Amino acid sequence: MKNEEIQKMRLKRLIEELKRKEGRGTELISLYIPPRKRISEVTNYLRQEYATAENIKSDQTRKHVKDALTKVMERLKYYQSSPENGLVVFCGAIPQNGPGTEKMEIYIIEPPEPININLYRCDDHFHTEYLEEALKEKDVYGLISIDINEAAIGLLEGSRLKILSTYTSGIPGKHRAGGQSARRFERLREMAIHQYFDRIARHANEEFLSDEVFKRLRGIIVGGPGFTKHEFVEESDLDYRIREKIIGFIDTNYSGEEGLREIITKGGELLKHAKYQQERKLVDEFLNNLAKKHDMVLYGFNDIKRYLYDGIIDKILINDNINYYYIKIKCKICEHEEEIIVKESEKIKLEYRLPLCKKCGGETEIIEEKHIIDYLDEVSKFSGFKLYIITADTEHGRMLSQFGGIVAILRYSLRY
């Protein structure tokens, strides 16, 4: 797996941790420094804030803010200017277990994407929202699925399909009595179709031309049964900017929501760079091997861990919502070491009561602790397998969950 994707996963976990932290009063500092800004300018500004902090009425809050500012300025001494993507600093006194148990914590983050914002703020929480923007998928595909009866508009953001809206046409069928009434009925039906097309086009314009979406929109795909999709594009009030973004048409058996999913399934070449397609192919590879060559796959932590260092594993697929941790414990008496993998809830219990040494029965201590993805990433560097993170809340991610959220595709059969 690409190193930058691993970094994004770590940052995502850190942000979730930071969002849970709360200060007592407005004591937590959030500092965003734009790319290549001179740190001396930032430090001068923080000194001014330090002087201003003298005016804070609460003794405790004043002390915590001044201590946090001092801590930040000390850490910024290691930089002459902020990195090419900028720098984000979170610092403050975090209560550990009630009043008087505050501990000064500081986090220095180099974001994965440039953060062009200059911000200093003291609050009772850390302002992570600007950092979260850097984790948003940059490439987005617009999807329109339409036939004469129903339509749906969606977005493919990375590996997530977001259904924006669904519609029904209310257009009557073609068959009516002959003669003049039939011609009149046909004219009314054509008017209804035109109005239906324009209604869908207006909604598509609203959804895709919003600033947040349009700047990330890599292309739009229109799908549906028959020629309706082409007629819709040619005859509706689609904005010219939307028309210019259309990269292809796909014939589908369904329209509406189901049609959107079918567009993704059949849009291989058009969506070849989309994360959704890449993840789906990996899960399909595992499922195909499971069905035809079951001795070429493994699933579940315990089975995979047995072969991690043997060079037999080619790929490991793991869901991004996995909350397992790798823990290494060591006996205080005989120094025997043991590796265990536990859920996050079990890890918290371990911190209060560690298992006794299996060799001599002595007390143990934790000497290493990593999230399971960090652990597998580290092992992959010398074991040679590739690590892929699969988005859990997609169809293929949910399929992977049925196998414990982690599977392996092998280089050769276990019977070898």
Q: Tell me the two tokens of residue 196.
A: 């239906």
Say yes or no: 264 and 145 in one domain. yes
In a domain, 8, yes or no: no
pLDDT (average), residues 162-177: 81
Tell which of 273, 294, 319 closes a domain: 273
How is residue 112 annotated by DSSP? S
**Assigned domain for 185 exists:** no
Counted domains in the chain: 3
Whether 205 shows a pLDDT value over 90: the answer reads: yes
| Confidence (pTM) | 0.73
Mean pLDDT of 397-411: 93
Same domain for 120 and 25: yes
Question: Can you spell out the DSSP letters for 182-241?
Answer: HHHHHHHHHHHHHHHHHHHHHHHHHHHSSHHHHTTEEEEEEEESTTHHHHHHHHS---HH
Domain that holds residue 209: 140-174+191-273
Mark whether 120 and 92 lie in a shared domain.
yes
Shared domain check, 200 and 86: no
The CATH number of the domain where 269 resides is what?
A: 3.30.420.60
Q: Output the CA–CA distances (angstroms, integers) from residue 264 to 26, 114, 144, 251, 402, in the order listed.
A: 47, 30, 11, 11, 22
Q: Is the pLDDT of residue 197 over 50?
A: yes
Regarding whether 306 and 265 lie in a shared domain, the answer is no
Other C-beta atoms within 10 Å of 80: how many?
A: 9
Same domain, residue pair 100 and 43: yes
Domain shared by 234 and 302, yes or no? no
Q: Are residues 232 and 350 in the same domain?
A: no
- Clarify whether residues 145 and 246 are in a common domain: yes
In this predicted model, what pLDDT tens digit does every residue of 263-319 receive, in sequence order? 998 988 888 777 888 888 999 999 999 998 888 999 988 889 889 988 899 999 999
The reply to whether 313 and 397 lie within a common domain is yes
CA 358 to chain centre: 40
- Please tell me whether residues 268 and 233 are part of one structural domain: yes
291 shares its domain with 205: no
User: What's 353's domain CATH number?
Assistant: 3.30.1330.30
pLDDT for the residue numbered 334: 94
Integer Cα distance of 73 and 42 in angstroms? 9
The whole-number pLDDT of residue 193 equals: 92
Check the CA dihedral 102-104-105-106 and report its sign: positive
